[in-house]
Amino acid sequence: MAVREVRSPGDYLGFVAFGRAALDGRLPYSAALEAAYRPGVTTWATWPPAFAPFAALLSWLDGVARPAGVLALQGAGLAGLAVALGFFAVRLGVGPGPGPSALPAGGSRPPRTAAAALLAAPVPVLAALLVPYRLLLNSLQNTQVNLLELGLVAAAFWLLGAGGEGGAGGEGRRARRWTGGLVLGAATSFKAAPLLLLGYLAWRGRWRDLGAALLGVAVWWAALPAVLLGPGRLPAAYGAWLRHAASGGLLAAEGNQSLAGTVARLAGGAGPGAAGFGAAGFGTAAATAVVAAALVAAGLWTLGRPGRGVRPGREARELALVLLATSLLSPLAWKAHFVTLAPLAMTLAIPADAAGTAALLAALAVLDLTGRSLVGHAAAARLEGAGLLTWTAVGLGLVALWRLRKAGAAGTREARTGGGWAAGG
| pTM score, whole prediction | 0.85
pLDDT in tens, the chain (425 residues): 555 555 567 788 888 888 888 888 877 787 677 777 766 555 677 789 999 999 999 989 888 888 888 888 999 999 999 999 999 998 887 644 333 333 333 344 433 467 777 777 788 999 999 999 999 998 988 888 999 999 999 999 999 986 544 444 567 888 999 999 999 999 999 988 889 999 999 999 999 999 999 999 999 999 999 988 888 888 888 888 888 776 656 676 778 888 888 888 887 654 444 433 333 334 566 667 777 788 788 888 877 778 787 888 899 999 999 999 999 988 888 888 999 999 999 999 988 888 899 999 999 999 888 877 778 888 888 888 888 999 999 999 999 999 988 887 444 443 333 333 322 23
Q: Give the Cβ contact number of residue 3 at 10 Å.
A: 8
